């Protein structure tokens, strides 16, 4: 298990008082995680001592910046067990990674009448790009339904995968239910049907080991900012053969091999998909975040989240009128969305904020999921490596106070 008191000392923001005498209790890591001092210092060190553009200079600073930036890519490749760092493409976030696949691979391979398979629990980032593509190409989108407990109806998948299915894109961990989906099984079903598989790992990468070779997924996208890293950078992993066959997503500097007035040829992987000056400091910070999580051990991170989630679900069950959305702790990550009878989720979040407790309220970029449940929004508490049982107790106490405010 993790040494949580030591870990908490690594996160400067956790010493913040939201209001005078009211310490911060941060339960919104599913939206964006806090950053340990190791990541902050790595980025600060770059700006203080190595600030230069990468790939384009032969002076010492440029070479040092390039080495640090590319070393981070290699760390990330090892983190997900990618066969080759060249298969790890820097993008701005998970959303851009999925859009890259939809625009580049999708527009080259999806035709009228082809089918795209998604699930009903997808984040908008893994839904809207495919809707745009399907409308443009005349393709058909199908959806794997979820069951009342927030798990996928796996029995429905084989029938939904047909000879016309080109891609099955799905989340590894739901950002609302917290459901941990059987990625390896779903990828195999896609491949057996002749389709490729894309995994949205935005909520999985921060909280459990990833292994793209074991999963055998064709694409996988995730963001640094949910896993102790900076905003503005993420990763698209893709199998080399697919990436090499895909046209560039954006054009400009660094993604070219040669340019003439008559035409251009493209750079090799991974730079073919990385036009323009990249997020250099963020890439270095991403590498530092991977170092930090590796130091904790992803199995330990996952075990701590399961422990905290189980504790939270038991504690929340004591709040009358509260309904937790999704499966039991054994089937979910550290994400707990809920409703509280008689109080709108936005009011819950505002009242909890007065006690220094930061949670999320709304549809969490998953409007179709909420529509199927017959609710407009939920409150969501999400946990991470620094979350303690004492913070969960304060969450429950604050919810009881919220009920008193509303005289419930």
Select which of 365, 367, 375, 397 is catalytic. Answer: 365
Q: Cβ contacts of residue 137 below 8 Å, gap of 6+?
A: 106, 107, 110, 111, 112, 114
Nearest in space to 392 (alpha carbons), one of 344, 338, 325, 341? 338
| Token representation of residue 90 | 């820097």
**DSSP per position, 272-310:** GG--SS--HHHHHHHHHHHHHHHHH-HHHHHHHHHHHHH
365 a catalytic residue = yes
Is residue 302 within 8 A of residue 207, CB to CB? The reply is yes
CA dihedral 68, 73, 79, 85 (to 10 degrees): -130
Q: Angle 167-172-174 (CA atoms, 0-180°, nearest 5)?
A: 115
- What pairs with residue 116 in β-bridges? 141, 167
Paired sense of beta strands 234-238 and 219-223, if any: antiparallel
Paired sense of beta strands 25-26 and 357-358, if any: parallel
Whether residue 270 has a cis bond before it, omega within 30° of 0: yes
The catalytic site residues sit at 365
């Amino acid at each position: 298990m993790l040494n949580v008191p030591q870990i908490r000392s690594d996160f400067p923001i956790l010493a913040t008082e939201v209001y005078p005498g009211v310490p911060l209790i941060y339960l919104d890591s599913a939206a964006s995680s806090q950053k340990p001092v190791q990541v902050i210092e790595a980025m600060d060190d770059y700006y203080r001592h190595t600030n230069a553009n990468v790939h384009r200079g032969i002076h010492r600073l440029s070479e040092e910046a390039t080495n640090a930036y590319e070393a981070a890519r290699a760390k990330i490749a090892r983190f997900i067990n990618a066969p080759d760092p060249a298969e790890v493409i820097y993008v701005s976030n998970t959303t851009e990674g999925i859009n890259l696949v939809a625009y580049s691979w999708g527009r080259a391979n999806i035709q009228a009448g082809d089918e795209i398979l998604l699930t009903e629990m997808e984040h908008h980032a893994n839904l809207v790009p495919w809707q745009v593509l399907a409308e443009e190409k005349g393709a058909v989108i199908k959806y794997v339904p979820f069951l009342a407990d927030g798990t996928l109806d796996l029995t429905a998948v084989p029938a939904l995968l047909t000879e016309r299915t080109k891609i099955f894109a799905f989340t590894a961990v739901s950002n609302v239910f917290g459901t941990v989906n059987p990625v390896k099984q779903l990828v195999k079903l896609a491949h057996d049907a002749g389709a490729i598989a894309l995994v949205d790992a935005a909520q999985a990468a921060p909280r459990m080991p990833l292994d793209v070779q074991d999963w055998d997924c064709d694409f996988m996208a995730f963001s640094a900012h949910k896993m102790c890293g900076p905003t503005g950078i993420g990763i698209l992993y893709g199998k080399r053969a697919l990436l090499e066959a895909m046209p560039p997503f954006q054009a400009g500097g660094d993604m070219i091999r040669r340019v003439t007035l008559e035409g251009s040829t493209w750079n090799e992987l991974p730079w073919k998909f990385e036009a323009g000056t990249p997020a250099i400091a963020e890439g270095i910070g991403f590498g530092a975040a991977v170092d930090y999580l590796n130091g904790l051990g992803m199995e330990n991170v996952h075990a701590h989240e399961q422990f905290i989630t189980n504790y939270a679900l038991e504690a929340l069950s004591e709040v009358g009128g509260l309904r937790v959305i999704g499966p039991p702790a054994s089937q979910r990550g550290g994400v707990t969305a809920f409703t509280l009878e008689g109080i709108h989720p936005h009011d819950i979040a505002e009242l909890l904020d007065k006690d220094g407790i930061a949670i999320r309220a709304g549809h969490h970029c998953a409007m179709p999921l909420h529509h199927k449940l017959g609710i407009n929004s939920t409150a969501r508490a999400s946990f991470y490596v620094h979350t303690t049982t004492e913070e969960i107790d304060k969450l429950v106490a604050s919810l009881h106070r919220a009920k008193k405010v509303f005289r419930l």
